[in-house]
Amino acid sequence: MTSVQTVRSMKGEEAITMLTAYDAPTAALVDEAGIDVVLVGDSMGNAVMGYETTVPVTMEDVLSRTAAVARATDDALVVADMPFLSYGPDEATGVENAGRLLKEADADAVKLECGEHTVDLTERLTQLGIPVQAHLGLTPQHVNQLGGYFRQGTTREAAQAIIDLAEAHADAGAFSLVLEHVPANVAAQVTEAIDIPTIGIGAGPDCDGQVLVITDVLGLSDRLPPFAEAFGDVKSEMESALSGYKNAVENGEFPDEAHAHSDDDLDGLY
C-alpha cells in the first residue's frame, strides 16, 4: 500500500508516477501497472464528462468517481481533486468537503489548486489528518481569470511567486506538489527549494515525478495539450471493436452458434 509517507520518501530516490483515472476498470489497470498515485482529477470535466473546462465539475461528481476508483485500487495512493469552489469560500466549507472525499469516497488524500488563499487551509487539513497535495503553476479552475491555458511563471516575478507559494505549502504540511505548465528551469528551482516531491505536467524533466491525464496517455483524446504524449492508440481499438460489432449484427454473423442457446440445449439440461 502506497501512503503519503511512501510518496514523500521517494523524493531524490526514484521517479514518482501518477496518472488520472475516473472509473473502476481504468483504475484497476493503472493500479496493476504499478503506477504510484491515481489522481481522480477534476480534468474528468474535459476528459470524460463532455465539458469545455473543469469549472462545472461538482463535489458529487468527484465523490462518485473517487469511490469507483478507490474500490478498484489495491496498491496506488488515491488522490481526489477538490473541484471549483468546494474550498475557498471559507475554511469550514473546505474542511467539510475534503473530509467527505476521505469519509464517503475512500480517498487517501486531496489535491487543491493553490494560491495565497490555500496556505492556512493546507495547514488545517493536515492537522486534521487529511493529507494535501498542492498544485501550482497553471491552475485550470482559474481559466476565466487567465483567459486560457497559458504557461505560468514566465517572468522573474511570477517564477519567484511560485517558488514562495511552493515553500509556504510545504511548510503548511503538503505532502507533495503538482507543478503544471511552467518553464523547466522554474520547476527545477522549485524541486530544489522544497523537501517534498514535485510532480510535473508540462514542467520539464527535473521534477521528482510526472503526471498525465489518462485519456491522453491511452490515445483517446481528440486534442493533446502540447506537453502530453499518447503512449497507445486506444481510440482506434475502440473504433474497430464498434464497427466490428455493428457489421457482425447487420451481416447476421453475431450471434453465431457459440452464442446461441436453443431449446434443445435447455432440454439437454434436464
Binding residues for ligand KIV, rule CB under 6 A, total 12
41 is an interface residue for Na ion by CB under 5 A:
yes
Distance CA 191, CA 119 (A): 18
217 grid coordinates: 496517455
Q: Which residue has the cell 471559507?
A: 90
Contact with ligand KIV (CB under 6 A) among 7, 37, 39, 110: 39
Distance CA 55, CA 229 (A): 24
Say whether 14 is catalytic: no
Q: Tell which phi-psi region holds residue 173, choosing left (phi > 0), alpha (psi between -120 and 50) or beta.
A: left
Cα separation of the two ends of the chain:
49
- Shortest CB 10 distance to ligand KIV, Å: 17
Burial 241-253 (b: 16+ CB within 10 A, else e): eeeeeeeeeeeee
73-92 mask for ligand KIV (x: CB under 6 A)?
A: --------x-----------
Q: Is 208 annotated as a binding residue?
A: no
Distance CA 101, CA 84 (A): 14
Q: What share of the chain is helix, strand, coil (3-state, %, to 5)?
A: 45, 15, 40
Contact with Na ion (CB under 5 A) among 61, 81, 180, 216: 81
Tell me the pairing of strands 109-113 and 77-81: parallel
CB 110 within 8 A of CB 82: yes
Cβ nearer to ligand KIV, comparing 168 with 217: 217
132 is an interface residue for ligand KIV by CB under 6 A:
no
201-230 mask for ligand KIV (x: CB under 6 A)?
A: x---------x-x-----------------
Contacted entry of ligand KIV, Na ion, none for residue 73, CB cut-off 5 to 8 Å set by kind:
none
Q: Which of 180, 192, 229, 257 is catalytic?
A: 180
Q: Is 111 annotated as a binding residue?
A: yes
Q: DSSP secondary-structure letter at 49?
A: S
42 is an interface residue for ligand KIV by CB under 6 A:
yes
**Cα 119 vs. chain centroid, distance in angstroms?**
21
108 is an interface residue for ligand KIV by CB under 6 A:
no
Cα radius of gyration rounded to whole Å, the chain: 21
Which range in 40-48, 101-109, 149-157, 221-229 contacts ligand KIV by CB under 6 A? 40-48
Cβ nearer to ligand KIV, comparing 234 with 254: 234
Q: What does the binding site for Na ion look like in residue numbers (CB under 5 A)?
A: 41-42, 81
Q: Which residues are catalytic?
A: 180
Q: What does the binding site for ligand KIV look like in residue numbers (CB under 6 A)?
A: 20, 39, 41-43, 81, 135, 178, 180, 201, 211, 213
Q: Which residues are annotated as a binding site for Mg(2+)?
A: 42, 81, 113
